[in-house]
Amino acid sequence: MLEFSHDIHTHSVYSDGVGGIGDNIGAAEGRGLKLLGISDHSHYLTGRAFNRYIRDINRWKEESEITVLAGIEANITHSGVDVAAGIVEKLDYVIASVHLWLSDPEEYVELVKIALLDENVDIIGHFGASFPHIGYPSEESLMEVIELAEANGKAFEISSRYRAPDVGFIRECIKRGVKLAFASDAHRPKDVGNVSWSERVFKKAGGTREDLLFGEFL
Ligand SMILES: [Zn+2]
Ligand SMILES: [Zn+2]
């Protein structure tokens, strides 16, 4: 049983997930989550598709027994984060993630810095998911990332799917008051709420309710 039962990163049929919004919410309620965020991929949600998406989530917000938030997972590219200002106002939060396959961890860090300076972004998604494969950036670069997050009020998700970031990074976030949030990155309703790794590493790093981005809902 989770103490801080929330999941801010789930996908639905509005992008590459297989469940409807209601299916994800039903799964979250069944698992006793207090807060669920829907965060479909931004490149599926342009024009009318975005309007349908937000209308659907807002309808479920009223019907659901738990807190439901409307998010999005945007892509960090060399030319910026692909989320339009017009849609940001209708969302509760924006996750920005690197989905490009890069061979240089320092290049990865440079991309994340773009998102840390973007006023539309709230949370960095699965930071460092590819480091076990491409290698780790320098300690200095990691510290720069955390300092930028602190200065710009950005949060990091703790991804159970990718088991990232690592406990040392999370401990440093907590020390500096950088907020954190649990993320399953579920693409199927049955994976919604799979965040036990997130909570375990969060607690191991010394995290308490005050260190969670949406702690007031939990
Ligand atoms: Zn992602
Ligand atoms: Zn995702």
Distances (CA, A) of 169 to 48, 90, 128, 193: 39, 31, 10, 23
Domains of the chain: 6-217 (3.20.20.140)
**pLDDT by residue (tens digit) across 180-197?**
999 999 999 999 999 999
Q: What spacing in Å lies between the alpha carbon of 75 and ligand 1's midpoint?
A: 8
Summarize pLDDT for 11-47 with one digit per residue, the tens: 999 999 999 999 999 999 999 999 999 999 999 999 9
Report how far residue 119's alpha carbon sits from residue 113's, in angstroms, rounded to the nearest whole number: 12
The per-residue pLDDT for 15 is: 98
pLDDT of residue 143: 98
Q: Which two tokens stand for residue 183?
A: 């993320």
- State the chain's mean pLDDT as an integer: 97
Cα(126) to centroid(ligand 1), Å: 7
Q: What percent of the chain has pLDDT over 90?
A: 98
- 95 has a pLDDT exceeding 90: yes
Output b/e per residue, 3-26; b: 16+ Cβ within 10 A: ebbbbbbbbbbbbebebebebbbb
Q: CB within 5 A of ion ligand 1: which residues?
A: 97
Cis peptide before 165 (omega within 30 of 0): yes
